[in-house]
Amino acid sequence: MERAVFVADLDRLPPEGEPYDRLYLGSEFCAWRLPEERELQEARGVAARRGVGFSLVTPFLDEPGLARTLALVRALPEDPATEVVANDLGLIEVLRGAGWGGTVVAGRLLTRQRRGPGFQSFGDVTAAAAAALRGSALDSPAFVELLGSYGVKRFELDDLVQGASIPVLPAGVHLSLYRPYLLVTATRNCPWIFDGRTWDRSRGCARPCRGQELHLVPQRRDPEAQHGLHLGGCAQFLEHRSDAPPPAGVDRIVWQPEIPA
Amino acid sequence: MKILCPVDSAAEAETLAGLGADELYGGYLPAQWTERFALAAPPNRRTFAEAQISDAGELRAVVAAAHAGGAEFFLTVNSPFYASGQYPALLALAEEALAAGTDAFIAADPGFILAARARWPGVRIHLSTLADAANSGAAAFWGRLGVERITLPRHLTLAATAALLAASPGRRFDAFVLYGQCPNDEGQCTFSHDHPGRVWPCVQPYTATPLPDTPRARRAAAAHAGWAGLSRADACGLCALWDLERLGVEAAKIVGRGTPTGRKAWAVTTVKELLGIIAAGCGREEFRAEARRRSHGRFAHRCDPRLCYVPELIPVEG
């Protein structure tokens, strides 16, 4: 089982001596939160010195965000050992169209899943409903085949509290499982830059969210509302710690020592 | 620019088409689906009964009323994905809808879109905002799947919308202009919206603890707390119509399945009148002032950025 460590910044790496096989760096939810090119190259250097693989994690993207992300991807060496975790179908489309030679992974936002608090408290539902609550976009063989035609052979999933159901996948398709934080929701209305009037980042962003989070506890007191959330950047995460063996087919654990925000 | 409005009943379809809605959209939730999959995994992104057409007879009546009024009817089947056990029921539902005369599906799941295009060649698909297609690469990806029109994500700035459309010649887009703004990006949100009291996790009150406790984190906590208790239903983007029309957006989309007919009727009437003002040659600033006047006359709030589709257009006071 490959073990990747996912951090948003290099200064959040786990201590020396903690073993891992691959370094994930980047953001799933904000193009402004991506590393600068200098930081990207520094991270690649760290991975090379430690003898581990490197993956750049990229977010969902508007048009300016796509341009920014493409510039960063183009700063990477174009060979199969270079991995980009894409959380936007548009990035995959553009990279394929450009004949980009690195490896593209379908990140966890592309495989969908019902991750939010509340899905765990459904209680007595039919077996069909329970299966639907544990499913993902991978339940469609046509979707897996479609992204396969773009060269995507790895798909990533969250470790759902209610359990993740994984269908039988074609030979050669690999799966990653993220632990222990599930990415529940994200927004372009970033609370870290809201000036009381607008969230507009057209003039850039100084990343004021770095190294900070809000722990959110619902003030409601019914069973659906008992799960606290971690807000980092413009995303919210649900913590689910589990030592259970990953589902069959998973060959990479993406470990988040803290919320990747 | 067309007006695309939600509809929940045949009587409503007649009213809204009569007022000038060019296109109507609705959800269909047969009892068999609810019994089998519960509301936690619905065929579309609404989990309350008022937002659903519940039987095939009513669906046929809605489509017939829309067509009689000169409007098209689109069925929303926009769950971001379906579990494998749901596809047979989903395709049966879609088949029923096509037999009823549905003109297009509003969908988000590539699995459903691929299956529908294979089963019914020529079937028209519009992409739901839940697919979160916000860049030209995504527009090309979905275009390759045969998607005819794309509903833009709710949070795009006008500048990002303009950049997307400029980079996507020949693609067709719809944009929300009234009601139902979300704090989170709907295409990335996996909150459950099925609380019987319609208490949505995105706008319920939270106690926020900053970690670490810094002035910046406290400001972020205050910004997050600002969403609690908001009536998201009263969101507005009317003042953007002038720009959206100039950019070539095909339809102004109104949110509100499951809301009263009068509310939808006001929206259709207002958007139609505002489009008429644009067509008459009104300038941008004059138009925005008129759109804001109508918004302020309708909603209890002034221009609140949380309830605005284009907060960058809110005038700076003083």
ipTM of the complex: 0.96
pLDDT of residue A122: 62
Residues of B in Cβ contact (< 8 Å) with A114: 40-41, 190, 192
At residue A75 the predicted structure's pLDDT band, cuts being 50, 70 and 90, is very high
* Host H or E run for residue A235: strand A235-239
Q: What is the pLDDT of residue B271?
A: 98
- A residues 30-59 closer than 8 Å to B (CB): none
Which two three-digit tokens encode residue B144?
A: 């390759």
Average pLDDT over residues A29-40: 96
Q: What is the pLDDT of residue B268?
A: 98
Question: Closest Cα partner for A230 from A164, A163, A185, A188?
Answer: A185
Report how far residue A120's alpha carbon sits from residue A242's, in angstroms, rounded to the nearest whole number: 15
Per-residue confidence band for B262, with pLDDT thresholds at 50, 70 and 90:
very high
Lowest mean pLDDT among A49-53, A113-117, B111-115, B234-238: A113-117
pLDDT at A98 exceeding the cut of 70: yes
Asked if residue B86 lies in contact with residue A165, where contact means CB atoms within 8 angstroms, the answer is no
**Residue B30 φ then ψ, to 5°:** -65, 155
Which residue is closest to A216 within chain B, CA to CA? B208
Residue A20 at interface with chain B, using a CB cutoff of 8 Å: no
Give A-chain residues touching B217 at CB under 8 angstroms: 212-214
pTM for the structure as a whole: 0.96
The average pLDDT across B199-211 equals 88
Higher pLDDT among residues B226 and A83, named by residue: A83
Where is B272: in which H helix or E strand?
helix B261-279
What is the chain A residue with the closest CA to B194?
Answer: A118
Strand (E) positions, B152-305? 173-178, 206-211, 251-254
Contact A212/B217, CB-based, under 8 Å? yes
- B34 lies within 8 A of chain A by CB: no
Q: Is A168 on the interface with B (CB under 8 A)?
A: no
Average pLDDT over residues B46-60: 88
Largest separation between any pair of C-alpha atoms in chain A: 53
CB contact under 8 A, B84 and A90: no
Contact state of A214 with B217 under an 8 Å Cβ cutoff = yes
